[in-house]
Each structure stands twice: as structure tokens, then as C-alpha cells.
Amino acid sequence: MSRILIVEDEEALRGDLVDYMCLQGFEATGVGTAAELLAVLRNDVLPHVVILDIALPDGDGFNLAGTIRAQLDCGIIMLTAHGDTESRVRGFDSGADIYLVKHTTLREITAAVHSLLRRLPKDQMTEDAPAAWVLDAVAWTLRAPDGQSVKLTATENTFVGVLIANAGLPCAREDLARILSRRQTQFDNRHLDAVVSRLRRKIFDQTRIDPPIKSVYGIGYSFSAIGEIRNM
């Protein structure tokens, strides 16, 4: 599993990034200081990608990027509130591969992580790349990471497709019910829960793998693993 380290002193943002990366199938951890980052670099288990803030309470992100680059062959994404040209140029000069400002969406940050992982040496990533669930939207089939396939109904196919298309973000019950109502009239929350219950049971019964469809309290459902949609 690919390892992501988030270096961010703002606790709420750090928590959101760690949670979202974990939902995407990565092994994500977070630290809030330069000292904690340097401690991680002394460990045997090192990150494949570092998401790095510039303004830390005990260190400068530009200098830290240079330290990371000197010690570790990994991807570096700078995520900061400083969006001016001078800061961007300095970020790249210090060793950053990608420079993002903090209003960037979680989906864009995840796309940047995937981009960096594709650039890493294949022998470094072969065993660690997160396996994906693949939805064949034409054949109505969901393939598990180990290659086992589950045949879906039309409603299940639509439901899974919506979850995967939202890249791990929670999908609201109301939105899901409205989309599924195009296939069945008066599709309400009770019907939605029944579909999810049957689908989870089907996936587990046929693959013996814990279904990656998770309830998000007060919102709806999300797909908690790496997922791809293919029109085969």
C-alpha cells in the first residue's frame, strides 16, 4: 500500500487529508511539526509521497523540502496558502514536484498523488500500489482487487458507478435516491438502504472481501477503496 505523509500544522485540515487519503486506499499519516517530520525520515518505513505545508511552527517548508529531497526518493507536493509566483518558483527550486494552494479540492490533491506515484520507479511501487475495484459499467460487473467478479443488477450498477465517480467523497442519500429513481419510481431512503444491504451481502458472499461501500453518518454512502469505471 502506498504511504502518504501529510505535514500540516492545522489540525482540522491535516485530519481531513489523512481521512480522505485513507478512504482512497492509501496508508496515510499526519504530523504537525518539522521535528515530527524529521523523526519520520529516521524510520525504516518511509513515505512514497509527502504533502508539505510551508509555514510550520518550528520550521520552513522550503528548507524541509530540500532536506527530504536529499534523503529520500519520494514525491513532494507543497500545499500552502502562498500562491504568489515567487513562492511557487521557490517551491519548485527547493525540490517540490507539484505546488498547490490550499483551496485545491481533495480530489485534485488525490489526482496529484496518483500522478507522482506513476513517476516513481516501478520496482519501488510494484508491491505497494493500492489495488483497485473495477466497475464494468457495460457488463454490470464489479471486479474485486483479487480478480473475482460480482454480477450487478442495473440499480446496483448505477449506485456503484455514482460512488466511484465521486472518488471517495460521501454521496448524499437524497442525491442517490434521485438518481436511482430514474430506474424505479418513488425510490426512497428505505429502498436505498435495502439495495445497499443486499449489495454488501452479495459482494462478501461471492468474494469473501469486506465490501468497500461505507455508511457516512448523517450524509449517505461512500466508496472506501480505489475504484475505476471502465466501459469494456
Indicate if 207 and 159 belong to the same structural domain. yes
CB under 8 Å to 143, separation ≥6 — which residues?
133, 134, 135, 136, 149, 150
Indicate if 173 and 200 belong to the same structural domain. yes
More confident residue, 44 or 177: 177
Look up residue 93 and give its three cell numbers. Answer: 527550486
CATH for 96: 3.40.50.2300
What integer pLDDT is reported at residue 132 of this predicted model?
80
**Confidence check: pLDDT of 7 > 90:** yes
How far is it, in rounded angstroms, from Cα 87 to Cα 81?
10
Indicate if 160 and 121 belong to the same structural domain. no
Please give the full DSSP string across 158-180, using - where no structure is assigned: HHHHHHHHTTTPPEEHHHHHHHH
DSSP conformational letter for 42: T
- Domain boundary (104, 125, 146) is at 125
- The mean pLDDT of 142-170, rounded to a whole number, is 90
What integer pLDDT is reported at residue 114 of this predicted model?
86
- Domain boundary (125, 156, 177) is at 125
How far is it, in rounded angstroms, from Cα 166 to Cα 180?
16
More confident residue, 30 or 224: 30
Contact of 113 with 28, CB cutoff 8 Å = no
- The mean pLDDT of 48-59, rounded to a whole number, is 92
The domain of 146 spans: 133-230
In this prediction, residue 42 has a pLDDT band, given cuts at 50, 70 and 90, of confident
The percentage of the chain sitting over the pLDDT mark of 90, rounded to a whole number, equals 49
Least reliable range by pLDDT among 9-18, 145-154, 163-172: 163-172
In this prediction, residue 150 has a pLDDT band, given cuts at 50, 70 and 90, of very high
> Strand, helix or coil at 81?
coil
What integer pLDDT is reported at residue 82 of this predicted model?
85
- The mean pLDDT of 4-14, rounded to a whole number, is 93
What integer pLDDT is reported at residue 185 of this predicted model?
60
Indicate if 146 and 119 belong to the same structural domain. no
Mean pLDDT over the full length of the chain: 87
Indicate if 84 and 120 belong to the same structural domain. yes
More confident residue, 127 or 227: 227
CATH for 194: 1.10.10.10
Going by C-alpha positions, the residue among 139, 155, 137, 132 that lies closest to residue 202 is 155
Number of alpha carbons in the 13 Å side-chain half-sphere of residue 42: 6
What integer pLDDT is reported at residue 118 of this predicted model?
81
Residue range 83-128, pLDDT digits in tens: 889 999 999 999 999 999 988 888 889 888 988 888 776 555 544 5
What integer pLDDT is reported at residue 77 of this predicted model?
95
